[in-house]
Amino acid sequence: MSITTQKPDRLRTLLETGIAITSELSLDAVLQRIVEAAARLTEARYAALGVIDRTGTGLERFVTTGIDEQTRAAIGNLPRGRGILGVLITDSRSLRLHDLGEDPRAVGFPAHHPPMRTFLGMPIRLHGVAYGNLYLTEKVGGGDFDEEDEGLVKLLAGQAAVAIENARLYEAERATRSRQERVQMVADIALAHTGLDDLLGVMLPLIRKLLAADTCILFLVDEQSRELVVRAGDGLGTERLVGRVRYPVGEGLVGRVATEGKPVVLADVEHNTEVNPIVHELGVESLCYVPLLMPGNIVGVLHVGTLSPCVFTEDDVELLRMAADRAAMAIVHARLFQAQRETAEALAHTNEELRKLDQMKDGFVSGVSHELRTPLTSMLGYLEILQGGEAGELSDEQQHFLGIVDRNCHRLADLIEDILFLSRLDGDRFHLQRASVDLGELVAERVESIRPAAEKKRVELRLEVSGAASQLWADPSRLAQVVDNLLSNAVKFTPEGGDVFVTIATSEEATRLEVRDTGVGIPEDEAGRLFERFFRASTAQNIQGTGLGLSITKSIVEAHGGTIAVGSAVGVGTTLTVELPLASEPAPADNSTEEVSG
């Protein structure tokens, strides 16, 4: 029958329904409007719309009109697409029947279902895609559904297909946005907790809630045993499984998920032999497993379970996978933070032990040095008495022997003083007693002091002072120690007939002291270590010394705000250059004693 011959009120209903359903974005609301419109258009007592599931073999939703809630509850579960309902799923053509019960494909009605005889079925399709089917029964007045009814419902089905597609796209977009928001919640939780236990205690309940699951269990890889061990659980008392359930990586369902790096969904675990018996004890019916992966590394496996049968959708799996990715990253970061904290604590403990050992060392060095210095001072006193003839005249041989003893006692005294100085420096007990010092005069005095030793080796000592007077605000005794160390080293390492040149030059900001010798020199690759404690150059192995003098010299120079540098060549000689800043005497109120940290 032509559409133009149909009743105007039915056409108006069709038009109004088309406008209404295409403007509606809620899928449930769209489906309900379509069902109610179909019933009005065809004067059907009962109408239903079955939405075809993703497999294309059954119904995932079944929306009705005409059946009250009490009857619906008495009928029980909604139809899944068997009998006549299933015919329209597999055959996309419309179907009109005079009596449902007489069709051989019918499977009857469940208990408490109202009787239904006349029937009109219409597929809802768009661009070759089946969205569902409209089912209409029991036309008012007892007549059959005719061609006019079929034509109207066909037009409605076309409008319904467009409306359902729009509503599905809207819901998909909303679901995507919701999934992103929920995953962001997981990410926010991950960022807010640096401790692993705190992180898991908050994250697992959140993931379980996001997927409306009853259990959530996390397996982490034990790097030593290469086993997947339950690290945390939430729901149904799964916390008691922590540390008790283990799977070697690659074995069992959990181990396979880890090695293959792919999600696994079990809609029914009852007959699956790979599932741990504890799962059955908990009463879990469905499971979804996802791996926790980082680039090139298996972190663990996360799974959620439900007590009632559940078909985890692609969206569910994707949500769990995205949550697992964030969890994996957060767990790795938490582990690194924990390792860093443990390392810091271990280092702090080690440092404290070293500090105590250092204190013991300082106490030992100080005590031993003082114990050595006391008898040594007495020995030097008696040597002076003997050498002065106060105990009687000595033969030349006796004087020679006493001279050897005297030199070695002074050498030992210098060594003790060096050790005590280093101990004070390490213990932050080194103080400068500053005063006005003329560096030129001080160097000239020290040159004359060492000249006898130089002449004995036939080493020529030359002093040159250029520029204005080099007035410093410094510790005179420590500067004298610096000059003595430089001069004694130069004379000691210069062979007979060699030269030592001492130069002082003053600029506007600093004074430079340079001591250059024509001695054995130092290999280039050893020059950088010259100021290390106890270091002895390979060219100086046969010359007496402790390797402490230049280390002490450097400490004193730097305490005065100066620098020291070395230049040397084997067989040519060595040049040591000290630069000290010119400084004005501080205000009278200032204390001239300055503490120096080592």
pLDDT in tens, 300-333: 999 999 998 888 888 889 888 888 887 888 788 8
| Greater pLDDT, 407 or 486 | 486
pLDDT surpassing 60 at residue 598 = no
- How many Cα atoms within 13 Å fall on the side-chain side of residue 183? 18
pLDDT surpassing 60 at residue 84 = yes
| Greater pLDDT, 80 or 356 | 356
Average pLDDT (558-566) is 91
Closest CA to 323 of 360, 290, 282, 369: 290
Element containing residue 264 per DSSP (H, E): strand 264-266
Average pLDDT for the chain:
84
pLDDT surpassing 50 at residue 2 = no
pLDDT surpassing 60 at residue 591 = no
| Greater pLDDT, 516 or 296 | 516
pLDDT surpassing 70 at residue 588 = no
pLDDT band for 595, please (50, 70, 90 cuts): low
pLDDT surpassing 60 at residue 488 = yes
What does pTM read for this prediction? Answer: 0.43
pLDDT surpassing 90 at residue 145 = yes
Amino acid letter for position 382: Y
Average pLDDT (104-133) is 87
Ranking 161-165, 227-231, 437-441, 453-457 by mean pLDDT, the lowest is 161-165
Spatial distance between the Cα atoms of 32 and 113, rounded to a whole number of angstroms:
20
Spatial distance between the Cα atoms of 183 and 172, rounded to a whole number of angstroms:
16
Contact 350, 411 (CB under 8 A): no
The pLDDT, as a whole number, for residue 175 is 67
Ranking 47-51, 224-228, 361-365 by mean pLDDT, the lowest is 361-365
For residue 109, give Cα distances in angstroms to 85, 367, 588.
12, 105, 113
Average pLDDT (161-175) is 78
Please list the residues that pair with 44 across neighbouring strands: 139
Average pLDDT (38-58) is 85
Ranking 10-24, 53-67, 450-464 by mean pLDDT, the lowest is 10-24
pLDDT surpassing 50 at residue 1 = no
The pLDDT, as a whole number, for residue 455 is 92
Q: What's the Rg (C-alpha) of the chain? A: 49
**Tokens read off for 293:** 């992966």
Give 199-226 pLDDT, tens digit per residue.
888 888 888 888 889 999 999 999 889 9
pLDDT surpassing 90 at residue 373 = no
The pLDDT, as a whole number, for residue 8 is 60
What size, in residues, is the chain? 598
The pLDDT, as a whole number, for residue 5 is 45
The pLDDT, as a whole number, for residue 52 is 81
Spatial distance between the Cα atoms of 460 and 506, rounded to a whole number of angstroms:
24
Element containing residue 457 per DSSP (H, E): none
The pLDDT, as a whole number, for residue 187 is 64
Closest CA to 52 of 21, 88, 105: 88
The pLDDT, as a whole number, for residue 45 is 94
Return the top range by mean pLDDT from 159-163, 276-280, 371-375.
276-280
pLDDT surpassing 70 at residue 596 = no
Tell me how many degrees the CA angle 434-438-440 measures, rounded to the nearest 5. Answer: 135
Tell me how many degrees the CA angle 555-558-562 measures, rounded to the nearest 5. Answer: 140
pLDDT surpassing 70 at residue 587 = no
pLDDT band for 381, please (50, 70, 90 cuts): confident
For residue 517, give Cα distances in angstroms to 17, 460, 489, 506, 571.
109, 10, 9, 21, 11
- The pLDDT > 70 percentage for the chain reads 90
Average pLDDT (415-424) is 73
